[in-house]
């Protein structure tokens, strides 16, 4: 069964949105296979965001992701990788469509980084790589 790696970012945890976000994942029909709440290490974040190293938003992003606890989730279901990306909505909460997690709940105004509540793997390869980072065997 297809699986993906979802993160609820520190803004989602701090704003008390864990339940609301997990409810949307479950309501869609995906299965929660693993769920963990804790503060990420610098090593985990460097590995997770390696593809963005060198971009202007990289350091603000890593700093933001270190601000407080995050929830890492393995979810499974048919089409869950693109399906969760659809549920999450566009990267920028201001342009994310209503009905999506970022469109309904995301607030990034006045910020140096997009505090857009969630991460979802963007391909099978990313999903397996990211699951290995957050849930090492
Ligand atoms: P995602 O797959 O939709 O999460 O987006 P990306 O993989 O492109 O970027 C990773 C994360 O970096 C995003 O979720 C945002 O939190 C942040 N980010 C991406 N692009 C930008 C940008 O252009 N400006 C800022 N400030 N943050 C960004
Ligand atoms: Mg991405």
Q: Widest CA span of the chain, in angstroms?
A: 40
**pLDDT per residue as tens digits for the range 51-83:** 999 999 999 999 999 999 999 999 999 999 999
* Cα–Cα dist 71/58, whole Å: 20
The per-residue pLDDT for 109 is 73
Q: Which residues line ligand 1 (CB under 6 A)?
A: 52, 57, 61, 91, 113-114, 116, 119, 122
CA 85 remoteness from chain centre: 9
Q: Judge: domain 3-134, CATH 3.30.499.10.
A: no
Catalytic residue among 114, 118, 119, 130: 119
State residue 137's pLDDT score: 84
> Full-prediction pTM beyond 0.80?
yes
What is the reported pLDDT for 113? 77
The per-residue pLDDT for 107 is 85
Q: Tell me the C-alpha distance between 121 and 4, whole Å.
A: 6
Q: What 8-state DSSP symbol labels residue 51?
A: G
Q: Residue 111: pLDDT above 80? A: no
Helix (H, G, I), strand (E, B) or coil at 72: strand
For the chain, what is the mean pLDDT? Answer: 96
Residue 23 is predicted with a pLDDT of: 98
From 48, 57, 126, mutation site for ligand 1 pocket: most ligand atoms within 8 A of C-beta: 57
């Amino acid at each position: 069964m297809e699986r993906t790696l979802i993160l609820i970012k520190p803004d989602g945890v701090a704003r008390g949105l864990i339940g609301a976000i997990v409810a949307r994942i479950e309501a869609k029909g995906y299965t929660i296979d693993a769920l963990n709440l804790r503060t990420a290490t610098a090593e985990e974040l460097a590995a997770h965001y390696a593809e963005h190293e060198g971009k202007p938003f990289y350091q603000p992003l890593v700093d933001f992701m270190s601000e407080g606890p995050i929830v890492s989730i393995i979810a499974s279901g048919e089409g869950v990788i693109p399906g969760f990306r659809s549920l999450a909505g566009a990267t920028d909460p201001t342009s994310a469509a209503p009905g999506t997690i970022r469109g309904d709940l995301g607030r990034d105004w006045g910020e140096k980084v997009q505090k857009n509540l969630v991460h979802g793997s963007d391909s099978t390869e990313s999903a397996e790589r990211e699951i290995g980072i957050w849930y090492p065997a």
